[in-house]
Structure 1
Amino acid sequence: MKSLMLALAAPLLAVHIASGQCPTDAAPDAPRVTITNGKLTAVVHLPDPQRGYYRSNRFDWSGSIACATLNGHTFWGQWFSHYDPLGNDAITGPAEEFRSPDGAEPGYNEAAPGGLFVKLGVGVLRRLDEKPYSFGGKYPIVDSGTWTSTSNRNSVTSTQVVHSTIGFDYRYTKTVEIDRKANIIRLHHRLTNLGKRPIDSALYNHVFLQLDGKGPGPGTSVTLAFAPTVETPFPDSVSVEDRTIRFLGPPPNGRAVGSYLTGYTPGTPNAIEVIDTTTGFRVRQKTDAPIVKFYFWGHSRATCPEAYIAIHVAPGKTQRWTTEFALEAPAAASPAPR
């Protein structure tokens, strides 16, 4: 692996956010930065092949948020019970994964066992056997490329450059930015094809949204820009009414709620709204690229509407896209007078 280079204009964050609202991190020595607009604050994990919070082979290493705070409340956080930096999904949201439409990754189908393929946002991986690609597979990372990160008060940018021996080379840059005036977090992406072969994939955001450390339950609703048709029926604790998925109770004990959804068209806005009526939380999510596939996943600790977008970058070309999260949380209660 090539070494990580960091040029940080903001100091590394200690275990807690300044407000003291975020829980103790499972990996306090992992590199991270804190960004803020003075009201909304976010702690962003930094990619690092040796010390990074997440070092597995499924999700994009950049841009995951350890925790964000607003009005004394928290968004995101550790949703899983056991932390392992090499675990497939031991990552905080909003976690993004590049996953090709045909279920493979660039170079996988043509590689023999022991051969190489590319996972965008991770690096060059090794195929293990004759089985089809599995997003849950443990494929060895041969080269994670070179990661560089820079930051200022309200944004942090991480860039990965990967060169392979199979014609797939790229430069991938993601900036996590807090709007200076509004309580909005934006993820700006730029993928440049430096190789000789076209890069075809898709990307979705496995949001892993937590509100004050909690997942979906009574009062949680997820409203889409289309009326969804559910491929796998939800349990009785989840209803679908027009464009809204509504939780009448928590997900079944020990199981997640999940299904692919259809009903969108090429012109459907890529927009999602999550509301918790019991607390006053609201998250508006949107991406400036059309939906090509949609999966909904609700876990007892996380709410995850997953809209896929298409990735196609010809040699020498660049694709750009942005996802934003507009966050609302009720004002913290004033302390009782003495």
Structure 2
Amino acid sequence: MRLLFISILLLLPVFFHLGEIKSQDYPSHSISNGMITAGIYLPDNENGFYRASRFDWSGIIYELKYKGCDYLGPWYSKHNPSVNDAICGPAEEFEEIGWYDEDNADFLKIGVGGLRKLQTEKYDKFKLYEMTNPGKWTINRSDCKVQFIHEVENVSGYSYRYTKCIELVNGSPKLLIKHTLENTGKKLIRTNVYNHNFFTIGHLPTNADVTVKFPEDAVRSIAYDKSNILNIDKNEIGFRRQLAANENVMLYSILGDSVTNGPIIIENRKLKAGVRIVSDTGYSTVHFWASERTYCPEPYIHIEVLPQNKISWEFEYTFYVK
């Protein structure tokens, strides 16, 4: 059985002296199904909200409102498009591909493109890498969904066609995130992808009102909790106190050796508002991160796609107000 480690960190104030976050400053599109409304930033190499090298550029939701409650939005006060963590919503990150391949000058991040390697031993997700192949983005929009298609060719022998759709279900308080990854190159694509789920329900602080429930008996054991921040009871994580400015907490491998696909439930008990997350694909692991303004269950999915093959997976978010 794996131990669940808790790490308490202080965040560096990386967002000061930067421009204010304003959705109208960046390309975006709004969708609605009559119950939920959501605003989505669109990928753009020159003017996009997010132009860094860590997260997938597609499907960045800057607001989502249901029954008067806003569930998603920026969890920091200042913004720079080139800062790797300057993102919001159910942001997704694919692990680097080709970094450790010998003789490769470039490596690949799905949803980002081809990036220049640096002369370092390890990939650093907090470092900004030079874009060498941005690929081609195609965006299809309608009233209730946005489809993103990202095509990248020959980044050190890797090529792909990645399709992602953000869709609101008619007549239901549900959001779907659908993915298809097609390997159009000559090399096996092997990676992991996780959803960071930057939830900010009601834009209230992270405190004792917030709870996150994982699949039954998923929270197995804890190595230590010197901070005394968390209140963990079997499959539920809560907070004993409000997190301070620049403070965060990280938990690794919540599922232990289990493989499951949900549900994960995030709720603000003061607002009686929450969201239930399930997937059609089993999680290889789940981490958890929280800071003063967001709380993030991070389900991971393992990806392997042979050349000329494809794989699909989906997340379903059901929103509620009691």
**TM-score, normalised to structure 1's length?**
0.85
Instruction: Give the Å deviation of 1:279.
Output: 1.0
Q: 1:234 to 1:321 in 2, by over 3 A?
A: farther
Q: 1:106 aligns with which of 97, 119, 122?
A: 97
Query: What CA deviation, in whole Å up to 9, does each residue of 1:237-257 have, x standing for no partner?
Result: 311101100112112442101
* 1:298 counterpart = 2:282: no
Cα distance in structure 2, aligned partners of 1:159 and 1:268: 28
Paired AA for residue 109 in structure 1? Y
Match of 2:189 among 188, 199, 208: 199
Matches for 1:80-95 after TM superposition, within 5 Å: 80-95=76-91
Letter in 2 for 1:156: V
- Per-residue displacement from partner, 1:83-114 (whole Å, max 9, x unpaired)? 00111111111100002xxxxx22111255x8
**Are the counterparts in 1 of residues 107 and 155 from structure 2 also a CA contact under 8 Å?**
no
Amino acid corresponding to residue 153 of structure 1 in structure 2: D
Higher relative contact order (CA 8 A, sep 6+): 2
How far apart are 1:265 and its partner, in Å?
4.5
**What is the CA–CA distance in structure 1 between the aligned matches of 2:223 and 2:149, rounded to whole Å?**
37
User: For the Cα contact (< 8 Å) 1:230–1:262, is it kept in 2?
Assistant: no
| Superposed structure 1 runs of 4+ greater than 6 Å apart | none
Contact 1:210–1:303 (CA under 8 A) maintained in structure 2: yes
1:299-318 alignment runs, 5 A limit: 299-318=291-310
Please tell me whether residue 276 in structure 1 is matched to residue 268 in structure 2: yes
Q: Is the 8 A contact 1:96 1:206 kept in 2?
A: yes
1:41 to 29, 33, 37: 37
The number of residues matched between the two structures is: 301
Quick check: 2:105–2:156 contact (8 Å CA) kept in 1?
Answer: no
Matches within 5 A, 1:1-338: 25-99=21-95, 105-111=96-102, 115-225=105-215, 226-230=218-222, 233=225, 235-329=227-321
**Sequence identity percentage:** 31
Unmatched runs of 5 consecutive residues or more in structure 2: 1-19
Question: Taking structure 1 as reference, are residues 74 and 165 closer, same or farther at Cα in structure 2, changes over 3 Å only?
Answer: closer
Q: Is the 8 A contact 2:60 2:90 kept in 1?
A: yes
CA RMSD of aligned residues (A): 1.7
Go from structure 1 to structure 2 and tell me whether the alpha carbon gap of 1:300 and 1:165 turns closer, same or farther (over 3 Å shift): closer
How many Å apart are 1:167 and its aligned residue? 1.2
Maintained 8 Å contact 2:21/2:77:
no
Q: CA 1:115–1:209 in 2, change beyond 3 Å: closer, same or farther?
A: same
**1:297 deviation in Å?**
0.3
Out of 214-223 and 278-287, give the one that drifted further.
214-223
Residue type matched to 1:172 in 2? Answer: Y
